[in-house]
A and B are shown apart, each in its own frame.
Chain A
Amino acid sequence: MVADKESKEAALAAKNRILPAKEAALFKTLLQQYELKQYKKGIKAADQILKKAPNHGETLALKALILHSSLPHNHPTASSQPKGDEVDHLIAAALRKDPYTHITHHVNSIIARAKKDYVTAGRSLTRAREIDSDNIPLIRDAISLHTQLGQHKESLRVRHQFFTMRPNLRSNWISLAVGHELCGNDQEALDVYLGLEDSTKDEGLAPIEKTQMSWHIVKLMIKLGKFKEAHERLGDDIRDRIVPNSGETVDIQAELLQKMGQAEEAEVAYRRLIESNPDKIRNYKAMLKARGLDLDGELSAEQAQKVLTQLDLFSESFPRAAAPKRLALDVAQGDDFKQRVQAYLQAGLEKGIPSLFVDIKGLYKDQAKLEVVEAILEDWKEKLEAESTSAPNGEPISPPTMLLWLYYFLALHLAHPAHPTPDYARSLELLDTALEHTPTLPEIHMAKAMVLKRAGDPDGAARAMEQARLLDGQDRFLNGKAGKYWLRAGEVEKASAVFGLFTKKDAASPGQDLTDMQCIWFLQEEGDAALRAGKLPLAAKRYERIISIFKDEDDDQYDFHTYALRKMNLNAYFNMVEFGKQLRHHPRYIQAATQAADIYLRIYDNPDLREVKLSPEEEAERKKAAKKAQKANSKAKKAAAAPAENKEEPALPDADPEGKEYLKEVDALAAIERLLQPLFGTAEDEISPWLTSFELALRQDHLLQAVRALNKSSKLEPQNPRVHNQAVRLSLKVSSLPAETAHLSLIKSSLKRLIPEDVDLLRINGDFIQQNGSSAAHLFYGALTLRDILLSRSDNKALSDTDKQQVEGAFMQVLNTEVKPDIKTYQETLSQLISTLDSSTEMIAKFREGVLQRLPLALGFSAKEDKQKRKEQWMAEDAKENEVTLPNGTA
């Protein structure tokens, strides 16, 4: 019956598709006009047809396509926005009127693709291909879309179909081989590549394309374990000059020889690579490995000596290469190490290499090496200060700047987290001495900023970084650092003004330009600043922008699925596909996703947080801004309505730049699912998505999922304090469930491994706190867990006064003298006291004082008034300085 009805409808649609002669001719012109990008004429022609045949689906679709093509690609503008809506209406109407022609579906697919909605695009295309399976444009689009969506089996099927239709096209051979490779059919892929060569269809390729092809075929052979064939092929192609006998060729050759067990030949090949690029570390390691010396494994004393002898030979051959000298520092021990590191440090300090510390600190995994470096520096410092005219080893006169760089290095050394007893105060002293010596070197101010930041003084750090920036206003690196430090100090407007010195002047704001340029660190920092200021919606908006940048980058691959077939850069192409699969594993994605998820959790638990409560002044400010935005908007619309000039229409301003409305309506849990989804399968070895996944599952009452996440987390990091907190919370939840709950026994038995069943949770938590008494983070989560337990046991779901005191007492323990100071945890504790526990002002003041007692430099914890006083003092100082310099400057 249904099929019958459908076939009747289809027959009717087919009848309606036939246009009268005049309109049929117009339709043909319409198609041409689209091809020729004559959009205005095209729309006129479409309207003419629609006058006579208003229900003609194909014309509606083409009108939609032409209108869509005439719109700006990137940002909607005042005039394009309504047209975009019209496109949507037209295409919906077209699909309704005639779903039986491939044209309406194809157009829908093209428009969805332009909007980067590849899922809809793929679905529509499949529908179009059901109607017209041999249509070549449809086939081409289908290959790219399936590939982009990771539907490799489907893509292979279409590639194969196209190949059988047009076996004479070289690109179809390549396409088929690529399709096989994407499916993991490496042998089939190799057969197709070789078949292409046998049928001499590769003859038209440019030399570089043949080179690329050869490299790829050889790599594929290696992957298939056909070492002998690969070796022969590479040899032939070197002889025939298809590939150069250098660079990538030698790289492949070396790897191949190593795999074939021809260690000596492999060593020769690696040696050639080192000669060609003596700064590539991997080549040294690989060459030594070919000799049975594994630098990444344990070396016997005898082996270490062999390594050092070899590295010394390389240092002689390539005196300008840092790699062999630096690698030797990893391997050498004892007196030998001391000698070597002395020479290395002296050369670096004399030359004034700012990155010397970053380079050296890798050695600090070995505490003994850290101590040797420190002793050398302290010794030199004393000598140089005493007689600043002769070098530490008594040899020629050392450059006066050596002492300066020594202060710089030692300051960074003393403030580094790897240092067993970081000494920020002394570090800052050294930097101040250096500044007396040379006040104009930005690096010293930068170091000062970094030390102050580590010491817990974001205001002082920002001020120091600003001083660095002012010393070299032409340097964007300093500019970006200064802006970042202002953000960390909560000075968002100041930061924006600083960033604006380097962003495009025609951008809506400095932040907009940085966003358009996909500057992820900036969005992260601005989001963090908003979060610290309690502006949850704005923070979420910034983190979500990072998420969308990752989507854009994923989408960017689309065009290259066909491009690579023409360019033949197949190794690079497969490298891209692999990159696309792993893209969301990027630490920046994970960080933004989990932080955004935390915000969604908070608004789910407390819907009041969906909107930021504004003070009356802020509300007035907001209204002013909204008015301004509206004015800009209507101005843009007016400009758009004016007769079109060649001038480009500006993009519509963001209607909600402060993100006020951002979280109002959002489905918090669905948002978290969306953020986490791409992480499963790529980032399973990271704990933070699992911790978030647990929180989501708990709120969705998906307890099996919660247990699974918890098990994963505890396997990855059994000592992570959040694992303890989550296990206790799950246990609380489970104990409240009725006995008939599904999977209850399974959940219980799984949980038992983390939390013993018959012990009181308060005692378990007490033990946890006691066992981790020196870790601030553990004490923090212990206190948080205590709160969770007490809350679940209270009748009215609120803490009693004695409960609250108990929890506050637990939080205060993070300040105990046996705890290693931890600024991040102190900040979190402070925000728990203020926002969650609603502690008294006395309590909060007591905590702040406690932090300052332990960390006198952590002025970020001082009272608001004290911070304000300090800033006013700075302003006065700066004003005075300007007074002094101004008359000279104007004289």
Chain B
Amino acid sequence: MDIRQATVDDLLGMQNANILNLPENYTFKYYLYHALTWPELSYVAVSPKGEIVGYILAKMDEEAVDTPSGHVTSISVLRPYRRLGLANKLMRQSQKSMATLYNAAHITLHVRKSNRAAISLYRDSLGFEVTGVEKGYYADGEDAYQMTLKFEKEV
């Protein structure tokens, strides 16, 4: 699977992959907002047929003023494309851009407290740690864990 930076042309495919895979969905404008604000931070994994089978939709944390912090809005790999390490590869590319262009020192994300599969992916495969709890973060009232990954010097 090809891994490359996402462009506006990829957004419909990312939106499609998102709603196929995850319960947290967004309308097109939100994707457009990411692409036109942080064009270098989102990446896609593309199948030989040209279908988007994985993506990371990422941004810079606009409230973190002192230390620039990257934030993963959404990351997902379609079920048939697992076990290829795509999530890891997508994450690493995004992190590189965050560090080089925005001087980010770490990256955060939110995950449903009940989503054990995702938590273990972030912790065990991607190296994130739980750094906080946000009460009632989701529309249905569920709490979110905030998870953080500190960048190594080399990226």
Contacts and interface: CB of A to CB of B under 8 A. Distances in A.
Nearest to A558: B29
Interface string B113-151: 000010000000000000000000001100000000000
Contact of A354 (B1, B8, B80): B80
Contacts of A569: 36-37, 39
A211 B36 contact: no
A92 interface: no
B67 to A, nearest CB: 16
B108 interface: no
Interface string A544-582: 000000001100110010011001010111011011000
A320 interface: yes
A474 B79 CA distance: 12
A322 B2 CA distance: 9
B27 A518 contact: yes
B32 A353 contact: no
A208 interface: yes
A276 interface: yes
A556 B21 contact: no
Given A569-B36, A579-B8, A320 B85 contact: yes
Contacts of B15: 518
B103 to A, nearest CB: 9
Nearest to A474: B117
A821 interface: no
Contacts of A362: 48
Contact of B47 (A247, A248, A276, A358): A358
Interface of A (DSSP majority class) = helix
Contacts of A478: 79
A517 interface: yes
B153 interface: no
Interface residues on A, range: 35 or more
Contact of A517 (B27, B29, B140): B27
Nearest to A563: B36
Contacts of A475: 79
Nearest to A246: B100
Contacts of B8: 572, 575-576, 578-579
A41 B126 CA distance: 54
A618 B93 CA distance: 56
Contacts of A244: 100-101
A669 B96 CA distance: 54
A359 B22 CA distance: 24
Contacts of B22: 476
A399 interface: no
Contacts of A380: none
Interface residues of B, number: 49
Q: In the complex, which of the residues B29, B79, B84 has the most CB atoms of chain A within 10 Å of its own CB atom?
A: B79
Contacts of B26: 517
Nearest to B46: A281
A139 to B, nearest CB: 22
A576 B35 contact: yes
Contact of B36 (A277, A443, A518, A567): A567
Contacts of B4: 277, 280, 282
Interface string A476-492: 11101000000000000
Interface in A341-397: 351-355, 358-359, 362
A586 interface: yes
B36 A322 contact: no
B3 interface: yes
A519 interface: yes
A320 B86 CA distance: 11
A235 to B, nearest CB: 18
Interface string B1-24: 111110111001001100111110
A423 interface: no
A578 B12 CA distance: 14
B104 to A, nearest CB: 11
A281 B7 CA distance: 16
Nearest to B116: A474
A802 B59 CA distance: 70
Interface string A26-64: 000000000000000000000000000000000000000
B70 to A, nearest CB: 13
Contact of A572 (B1, B16, B39, B80): B39
A270 to B, nearest CB: 14
Given A556-B29, A572-B36, A247 B79 contact: no
Interface of A: 208, 211, 244, 246-248, 276-277, 279-282, 320, 322-323, 351-355, 358-359, 362, 443, 446, 474-478, 480, 502, 504-505, 514, 516-521, 552-553, 556-557, 560, 563-564, 567, 569, 571-573, 575-576, 578-579, 586
Closest 4 CB pairs of A and B: A279-B3, A572-B39, A477-B79, A556-B29
12 contacts: A246-B100, A279-B1, A282-B4, A320-B85, A354-B83, A359-B1, A505-B140, A519-B25, A552-B28, A571-B39, A572-B7, A576-B32
Given A359-B48, A478-B79, A576-B32, 14 more contacts: A208-B102, A277-B93, A322-B84, A354-B83, A355-B80, A358-B47, A358-B48, A358-B49, A362-B48, A476-B21, A477-B78, A477-B80, A517-B27, A576-B8
